[in-house]
A and B are shown apart, each in its own frame.
Chain A
């Protein structure tokens, strides 16, 4: 297993377009997290899954954001009608219940023009 992979690494989109990001966690990890990081700030929690169930969503996650994790494997994060304020790094992480470690992906950097 090569770790958590995120695709794409970079995405430039026009305001108002929809974008979708993908995260492939470590295969045996049952928890998957999405974070958003703006320039010069720490990552902010968006949402997390345990297996295929979305157990928590941050208030940061507006109605334009939706995340899925079908079959408890990879996850997608979709942003509809993108706004310039959505420009950020979107980080995915995975972990195993009961273990303290998290493994982060390299992130998807979104630029909305």
Chain B
């Protein structure tokens, strides 16, 4: 069965420093997609970054990059130059082959990031 594991319930980082949020996944499907979402206290899920299982390069979106290690089944999120506004819950999620599985997302338990001034 598909599973996403985030082992860091909470993380602290100093403003302007980089931070890595861990995510490991388990799937038997060769085709899948990995997502990271940010959820501030207001509740909405904000898309950050996506990595497809066949993508050769690690995804980057501005200050966000995804450290994709396929053999280790890990997809860690790296946030560079942390800002106070980055304080939120962060969720890693996976979708198996959308053409066969309907495209639903499986989420991890989340990591609460706190950025210190």
Contact of A95 among B43, B103, B106 (CB under 8 A): B103
Chain B residues within 8 Å of A100, by CB: 33, 50, 52, 95, 98
Interface residues of A in 2-50 (CB under 8 A from B): 31, 33, 35, 40-45, 48, 50
Chain A residues within 8 Å of B108, by CB: 42
Size band of the interface chain A makes with B: 20 to 34
Is B105 an interface residue when CB atoms closer than 8 A count as contact? yes
Nearest neighbor of A91 in chain B, beta-carbon distance: B45
Chain B residues within 8 Å of A56, by CB: 102, 104
Contact of B107 among A40, A43, A50, A95 (CB under 8 A): A43
Interface residues of B in 91-115 (CB under 8 A from A): 91, 93, 95, 98-99, 102-110
Is B47 an interface residue when CB atoms closer than 8 A count as contact? yes
User: What is the predominant secondary structure among interface residues of chain A facing chain B?
Assistant: strand
B107 near A89 with CB under 8 A, answer: no
**A42–B104 alpha-carbon span in the complex (Å):** 14
**A3–B37 alpha-carbon span in the complex (Å):** 16
Chain B residues within 8 Å of A106, by CB: 42-44
- In the assembled complex, the CB of B105 is this many whole angstroms from the nearest CB of chain A, namely 7
Contact of B43 among A44, A55, A109 (CB under 8 A): A109
A50 near B91 with CB under 8 A, answer: no
Most buried by B among A31, A48, A89, A104: A104
Chain A residues within 8 Å of B105, by CB: 33, 35, 43, 45, 93, 102
Chain A residues within 8 Å of B, Cβ to Cβ: 31, 33, 35, 40-45, 48, 50, 55-56, 89, 91, 93, 95, 97-98, 100-107, 109
Q: List 5 A-B contacts (CB under 8 A).
A: A40-B110, A43-B107, A48-B102, A103-B47, A105-B44
